[in-house]
Amino acid sequence: EVQLVESGGGLVQPGGSLRLSCAASGFTFSIYWMSWVRQAPGKGLEWVANIKQDGSEQYYVDSVKGRFTFSRDNAKNSVYLQMNSLRADDTAVYYCVRALGGNETWGQGTLVTVSS
């Protein structure tokens, strides 16, 4: 069964850091672009970042550029989102997505809350 399982969400203070993980199973992980998409409470979907199959290229929405880092470990079938300098408007459910717009699969999401 194709599956993506996110973890690492939680409550963090403004200015703090958090690292999200997404573990993949049931498919050949290394051949797919991966993405993060987030959704603030009661709001719409927002594309956050993409990473190439070998991790050599990453692309970010302007609002997280310089604060978030998207990485992957193909040996562990996992991707990671390191989030620094977190702000209240980063509060959202973060979804890990395989091949967004293609042969895609979504995780169930992990909630990140930035609040003092």
Partner 1 sequence: SYELTQPPSVSVSPGQTARITCSGDLLPKNYAYWYQQKSGQAPVLVIYEDTKRPSGIPERFSGSSSGTMAALSISGAQVEDEADYYCYSIYNSGHHGVFGGGTKLTVL
- 106 counts as binding partner 1 under rule CB under 8 A: yes
**Closest to 96 measured CA to CA, from 75, 77, 116:** 77
Strands 58-60 and 3-7: unpaired
- 101 counts as binding partner 1 under rule CB under 8 A: yes
Among 45, 54, 73, 76, binds partner 1 (CB under 8 A): 45
Residues touching partner 1: how many (CB under 8 A)?
20
**Gap between the Cα atoms of 39 and 20, Å rounded:** 15
**Gap between the Cα atoms of 50 and 10, Å rounded:** 22
Considering only residues 52-81, where is the footprint of partner 1 by CB under 8 A?
Answer: 57, 59, 61-62
Q: Which residues contact 88 (CB under 8 A, 6 or more apart)?
A: 14, 114, 115
Rounded to a whole number of angstroms, the minimum distance from the CB of residue 13 to partner 1 is 27
Nearer to partner 1, 14 or 104 (CB): 104
* Binding region for partner 1 (CB under 8 A): 35, 37, 44-47, 50, 57, 59, 61-62, 95, 100-102, 104, 106-109
